[in-house]
Chain A
Amino acid sequence: MRRALAVLLLSLPALAAAALSDEQQARYDALIRELRCLVCQNETIADSTAPLAADLRQQVEAQIAAGRSDAEIKRYLTDRYGDFVLYRPPFKAKTWLLWGGPFVVLLFALIVALRFARARKVAAPAAVDREALQRLLAEEYRREPKPDVESR
């Protein structure tokens, strides 16, 4: 509605008339959730009430109505405002670590964990530890006479 409001205030009847088809509306709804309001603390242009956000929403709507693709609209916006406007950072040299990092770390961690679990050999626990463990286990079974109830 704020979008319609902005349109109204700017009294641009040509744009206000540009009703979106259902498919275009869905694209619009998705797109404004991925664009940052540049003057707000941390809000999408869908959420923000700032005039700039209203202006950007109106631009997105007009461009969708004019038949531009999402990529074209994003390029138009990043040309003017830089990557900062995109909440989904583009994949480029500056961000490969961001996108790839978690999965590289996962791969590495899985390999380490698997190797650890595979390379098992029964290491003799230190005497003190074993004693402590025995004590604890013994007392547990004393309190809970039915050993089928395992406790975690």
Chain B
Amino acid sequence: MEKLGEISMEKLLAELETLKAQTSRMENSRKDQLSIAIVSGDMDKILAGMIISLAAAAMDTQVKLFFSFWALAALRDPKKKAKGKDFISKMFGFMLPKGRNKLKLSRLNMCGMGPMMIKSLMKKQGVMSLDEMFKEAAELGIEITVCEMSMHLMGFKKEEMIDYPNLRFAGATTFVADAGESSMQWFI
């Protein structure tokens, strides 16, 4: 009985050691970093994503945003034009919002009345505009990665994307790799 007790004690200690090693590995591999996959192109969701990102950056958390699908419309520069598009790409380009100031609301859009009302309320209550938010984000070093595959799928081209200091073009693997080392991983 006594021997059995000793063995289980030894086992327990060994288990504890493995656990300790595991937790320290997990702690070391997770950085103070926020990774968000932003897929939605609705104004409200882009706003939420940017506000949370800015708050995180203000807390010195490294922020990495991965823009994909509908969200790419928010990264279009209305002043830029891309040449050499096929018919379907042109159609997509025509139907999707041209830039962050033309985004629609996910609810109560009312043919553009909703966004207009929200924008005037935001201004009245001192909430930053999306333009200001992107400017702040750039200053705080928030990284934006454009999903190359969905950009091609939607017929957008690199040359019509906004000027942004930390704009990268990459694939889903980049997001997964970044998210893997982040302490927070979200999907909007």
**Do the two chains belong together in a single complex?**
no
